[in-house]
Amino acid sequence: MSKICQLSGKFANNGNKVSHSNVKTKKIQNVNLQVKRIWSVKKNCWIRMKVSSKVIKSLHKIKL
């Protein structure tokens, strides 16, 4: 199961977890993916897609 947004193409980001003593360890910041049913105007049917929560907020701007 791929952790990539199907509309925006966002994927995981690498970062550091910093402790109180300033020791840095690697961590992965995954995208907040949700499975969403979206109505497609072109195909005239429902489509199930994995999209990020940021894209869900702006879905009314995107024409599928």
Cβ of 38: how many Cβ atoms within 10 Å? 16
Q: Please write the tens of the pLDDT for every residue from 5-53.
A: 999 999 999 999 999 999 999 999 999 999 999 988 889 999 999 999 9
- Domains assigned to the chain: 13-61 (2.30.170.40)
- Using alpha carbons, select from 44, 43, 59, 61 the residue that is nearest to residue 6: 59
| H-assigned helices in 1-64 | 53-57
For the whole model, what pTM was predicted?
0.76
| pLDDT over 70 (residue 1) | no
| pLDDT over 80 (residue 64) | no
pLDDT at 24: 98
Q: Distances in Å between the alpha carbon of 19 and those of 13, 25, 49? A: 19, 8, 37
